Amino acid sequence: MKMTILTGKSVFGGIAIGRLSFYKRGQGTIQRRHVEDTARESQRFEEARQQAIRELKGLYDKALQEVGEANAAIFEIHQMMLDDLDYRESVSNIIETQKVNAEYAVGTTADNFAQMFSSMDDAYMQGRAADVKDVSDRVLRILSGGSDEGQTLTEPCIIAADDLVPSETVQLDKSRVLAFATMYGSANSHTAILARTMGIPAVIGLGERLDPSMDGVTAVVDGFEGRVILDPDAETLAVMQNRQEQEQKRRELLLSLRGKETVTKDGRMVNLYANIGNVSDLGAALQNDAGGIGLFRSEFLYLENEDYPTEEEQFQVYKTAAMNMAGKKVIIRTLDIGADKQAPYFELPKEENPAMGMRAIRICLTRPQVFKTQLRALYRASAFGQIAIMFPMITSLKEVRAIRGIAEGVKSELKAEGIPFQEDVELGIMIETPAAVMVSPELAREVDFFSVGTNDLTQYTLAVDRQNSSLEEFFDPRHPAVLRMLRMTAEAAHQAGIWVGICGELAADLELTEEFLRMGIDELSVSPGMILPLRQKIRELDLSDPR
């Protein structure tokens, strides 16, 4: 076989190299058999059902320990499904009236109940058809005499499958699972969520090019790039092994720093948060022990769509983020489109000077409907965790007041509709224009926090187009002018009693960490991979030392 690269969607980062093992399911096709002794078939079903419930109890306990109550609850619901009288009566009736074997009766009942869910007018309920199949498959497996070991793994390997149901993922011997690679599945499926919680690299949606004939080949699962390399050539393998080693080193650092406080030797606590660009990055943020999300760029919702994302679509994404972070702060930046980030359906006119043109908050304020949709989704999600909202490209007090007005309007709408939300969602602004720095004392009185976007602040302060690569030598984020702007911003924030952070790339510049902390910066938000190196740096600093 020649080296093949399949691309899919990553649900959890990391690199795994190993043998591909296709998930083998116990049962084949169900045969319809005529039986005379229907009482015996009913008895077989009853015994299998009881056995299945015992297994599910075991899985519930296992999942409870490994992935927590919220993820384990599904196995309790599965038990109730098997206890359901309608389900049991359906199986018995089919056995009695058609004089058939228990397997056939269970299979038919499963199809009928799954069909009932699939035909419901509700995406969530449609998804429950998979649960009916999952519990029924368990009973069928027991009827056919199969054991509950699922896949027995003799060596560590990469599990490949069309898709895995929750009971299958939780049953696997995780000490021998290097990664998951599946043909189908969504980022919100039980499997993706469990994989994320367990911290196993996983790439889903690889399509039908991943097929069972590949069982046993050597493969690389690249959870960073969302791809699977089958039968890699020597050169590729060496590159990936190298990346894996780096990853290993990072993990070791992670192990030693996870759960430790981000605090200097003299006791200054710093909030160390993650910058993310999609829900799929949440796993990386948690894995790296982020204290929260300091910048969730919401643009992907707009850039990956052919049309304006609906309130519901956005709500689901923000809610997922809030729930995954489980009470930790999630700061979501409202759409920052325009300039280098264009979505055709916005039909933004071509501009001479897009960096200074119709972008970010300017679009929101000139198209309030688009803005309100996003704010409604954000406030609704605030009922599920600790959401904060941040507005980009602010230059004046007038803008901030306009934003607050619109936010208040959204809140009263939701209240009138009886939709729950958090009343005191923190509202903050990005400081990324020199104008915002100059009026920061006034702005600080109107908002709950500042977060400095150093890339744009550098571009606008130094009048250097950051998209123009020939100007690279002039683009200096460490320019004293930029650093002085940062200091002014921090002072204004503290004077008004609000917190100030940095979420631009400069936040991860380890040579400036000490200076930032001396300025009084309260929060640093960096890409997930930089969190632990930065924590290490901060823990080595002693600000009580005079310079």
Partner 1 sequence: MVEFQYVITDREGIHARPAGELVKKANGFQSSITIHKGEKSGDAKRIFAIMALAAKKDEEIRVTVEGPDEAQAAAQIEAFLKENL
Do residues 129 and 117 make contact, with C-beta atoms less than 8 angstroms apart? Answer: yes
How many Å apart are CA 124 and CA 488, to the nearest integer? Answer: 49
Among 46, 66, 76, 215, binds partner 1 (CB under 8 A): 76
Minimum distance between the CB of residue 206 and partner 1, rounded to whole angstroms? 28
- CB-wise, 138 or 380, nearer to partner 1? 380
**Binding to partner 1 (CB under 8 A): which residues in 7-36?**
none
Among 37, 47, 61, 86, binds partner 1 (CB under 8 A): 86
Look at residues 239, 238, 230 and name the one whose alpha carbon lies nearest to residue 2: 230
Look at residues 448, 450, 475, 449 and name the one whose alpha carbon lies nearest to residue 463: 475
How many CB atoms lie under 10 A from the CB of residue 507?
A: 28
Neighbouring-strand partners of residue 15: 222
Give residues with Cβ within 8 angstroms of 486, minimum separation 6: 452, 454, 502, 516, 519, 521
> Is 341 strand, coil or helix?
strand
Give residues with Cβ within 8 angstroms of 362, minimum separation 6: 338, 393
- CB-wise, 17 or 132, nearer to partner 1? 132
Give residues with Cβ within 8 angstroms of 141, minimum separation 6: 25, 26, 27, 148
User: Distances from the Cα of 222 to the Cαs of 12, 21, 253, in angstroms?
Assistant: 9, 16, 21
In the sheet that holds 9-12, the strands lie side by side as 4-7, 227-230, 218-222, 15-22, 157-161, 177-182, 202-204, 9-12
Minimum distance between the CB of residue 57 and partner 1, rounded to whole angstroms? 14
Neighbouring-strand partners of residue 9: 204
Neighbouring-strand partners of residue 330: 293, 387
- CB-wise, 75 or 371, nearer to partner 1? 75
Structure tokens at 219: 């493969």
| 385-408 b/e (C-beta count within 10 Å ≥ 16 → b) | bbbbbbbbbbbeeebbebbeebbe
Minimum distance between the CB of residue 128 and partner 1, rounded to whole angstroms? 6
Residue from 78, 157, 364, 503 carrying the catalytic annotation: 503
> Total residues contacting partner 1 (rule CB under 8 A)?
25
- CB-wise, 73 or 356, nearer to partner 1? 73
Do residues 105 and 95 make contact, with C-beta atoms less than 8 angstroms apart? Answer: yes
- CB-wise, 90 or 513, nearer to partner 1? 90
Print the binding letters for residues 483-512 with partner 1: x by CB under 8 A, - otherwise: ------------------------------
Minimum distance between the CB of residue 82 and partner 1, rounded to whole angstroms? 10
Among 74, 91, 330, 387, binds partner 1 (CB under 8 A): 74
How many Å apart are CA 424 and CA 404, to the nearest integer? Answer: 12
**80: contact with partner 1 by CB under 8 A:** yes
- CB-wise, 384 or 449, nearer to partner 1? 384
- CB-wise, 74 or 187, nearer to partner 1? 74
How many Å apart are CA 414 and CA 421, to the nearest integer? Answer: 8
Question: 503 an active-site residue?
Answer: yes
Print the binding letters for residues 430-449 with partner 1: x by CB under 8 A, - otherwise: --------------------
Among 55, 131, 289, 514, binds partner 1 (CB under 8 A): 131
Among 81, 170, 375, 387, binds partner 1 (CB under 8 A): 81
How many Å apart are CA 292 and CA 61, to the nearest integer? Answer: 29
Minimum distance between the CB of residue 131 and partner 1, rounded to whole angstroms? 7
**77: contact with partner 1 by CB under 8 A:** yes
Question: 190 an active-site residue?
Answer: yes
Minimum distance between the CB of residue 301 and partner 1, rounded to whole angstroms? 20
Give residues with Cβ within 8 angstroms of 228, minimum separation 6: 5, 6, 8, 181, 203, 206, 210, 219, 220, 221, 222
**Binding to partner 1 (CB under 8 A): which residues in 170-229?**
none
- CB-wise, 10 or 324, nearer to partner 1? 324
Residue from 78, 157, 190, 364 carrying the catalytic annotation: 190
- CB-wise, 89 or 261, nearer to partner 1? 89
- Tell me which stretch binds partner 1 (CB under 8 A): 91-99, 158-166, 230-238, 415-423: 415-423
Under DSSP, the state recorded for 182 is E
- CB-wise, 84 or 149, nearer to partner 1? 84
Look at residues 430, 396, 385, 395 and name the one whose alpha carbon lies nearest to residue 275: 430
**Binding to partner 1 (CB under 8 A): which residues in 87-126?**
87, 113, 116-117, 120-122, 124-125
**347: contact with partner 1 by CB under 8 A:** no
Minimum distance between the CB of residue 43 and partner 1, rounded to whole angstroms? 22
**419: contact with partner 1 by CB under 8 A:** yes
> Tokens 């199969």, residue?
146
Structure tokens at 244: 């894996």
Minimum distance between the CB of residue 78 and partner 1, rounded to whole angstroms? 9
Print the binding letters for residues 34-73 with partner 1: x by CB under 8 A, - otherwise: ---------------------------------------x
Under DSSP, the state recorded for 348 is P
**423: contact with partner 1 by CB under 8 A:** no
Give residues with Cβ within 8 angstroms of 146, minimum separation 6: 26, 27
**Binding to partner 1 (CB under 8 A): which residues in 361-390?**
380
How many Å apart are CA 426 and CA 145, to the nearest integer? Answer: 57
Sign of CA dihedral 347, 353, 354, 356: negative
Minimum distance between the CB of residue 346 and partner 1, rounded to whole angstroms? 29
| Binding interface with partner 1 (CB under 8 A) | 73-74, 76-77, 80-81, 83-87, 113, 116-117, 120-122, 124-125, 128, 131, 380, 418-420
- Catalytically active residues are 190, 503
